[in-house]
Chain A
Amino acid sequence: MSADLANATTAQDSASPPPLPSVPRPLTSYVSGRMIAVIGVLVAVLAVLTGTSGGKLLSATNLGGALDASSEVGFIAIGVTMLMIGGEFDLSVGQVFVVGGLAFAGLDKHIGFLPAIIVTLLLAGAIGLINGIITVVFGIPSFITTLGTYYAIAGFILLITGASPVSYLPPLPHVFSVFSAHVGGLGFRWEVVWWIGLAAVAAWILHRTSFGNHVFAAGGSPEAARGTGVRVGLTKIVLFVACSALSAFSGIVLFCHLGSMEVTAGSGLQLQAIAAAVIGGTALFGGVGTIFGGVLGSFFLGVLTVGLVLSGASTQYYELFVGIVLIGAVIAQVKTVGASRFVHALFRRNSGR
């Protein structure tokens, strides 16, 4: 500011002893106790399912299959985790996932693989933009905004497709193998590599960029964030766009893998993604969470799916489990933050900017 101000500060700097109190970095800043607990439970569930499946779960093929299954929710969970850290929900991701697969399938034949991906992601981004703008500009809780877009998109999909699935006749285009080919002899597909790669990028953005800092602040205390000049609304809108794009990407990847997309394939995915985030330690009320946790949570769900199938158990148990996890998480968090704070966060209204 003024010259004498600057001088005063420098004079003080040189006068005080070379300050630096050591700033040791505590281990807890890398791995939380909660994460260790989650890993423990994951290992336990893995052990139980290994037993009930007669050891089959531990084969490279089946663990690889579990990883493949994880990536479907996993891509979406990356976006949902970031959005939840930023203090918002997206319930429309299940339908955006279907839109991703369908739009890609329709476009690929006409404009080619890469352009089809790009246009599909732009389309999904536009949906995210709409979610974000309705939520931020009109101050509507995202819980409600995205439930609305969920049904609107579902209706739109049925109108366009007449409810019939979209499929390619085999053989699938060779280029699809960038996602669907198996990696070496490892039992899992390249989609898993893409998933982990994107998760690493997201984690880097979240923890190592200003934008990431603003995401945590927007979810932790929007008032304090605004007070220091963080553009909370804009930050959230970007998150909605990223979340939609990741969901559509998951749909694209699934289409490349299976060569078809059912119009109902996305129902329930939104809650699975939230469950994955929550299992990994992401708070339902914003400000707390890690991408690593979301990846771990997704893997947990993937292992569960494959493990139940191998154990000959009904896959309905999976839905039962997701439901229990969500209710359990709500109870746990209501107990720690209080019901009123929780309801407040769930129905938080955003003021502009």
Chain B
Amino acid sequence: MRQGDKIALISLVAGFTVWSVGFVALYGLQALGCAYGWPTHRAVLILAYGILVAVLAVPAFWPLRSDGEASATLSVAALWANRAALGAGVLVFLPVTFTSTCV
């Protein structure tokens, strides 16, 4: 497999990999903040949300340069998969910034 194809393949799963890691991280931060009563709990969650959206935006707006037919096709698929991951992150993670965290 050529180097460009490998990078394109990684890019294809990059967005949703970050999304799933982010989902688990937010879940963990929410639970830890409640368990230990962090006074800055909400700020931590909003900061994590901002970082995740920023990271997700990189592959969504920064398409790969392709060096062949296979990687060109993959790059287009990767770009749109990563845009879907960004959209999913913005929407699905948003509630951690304003809904009740602990009861």
Q: Do A and B bind each other?
A: no
A: residues with CB less than 8 A from B are none
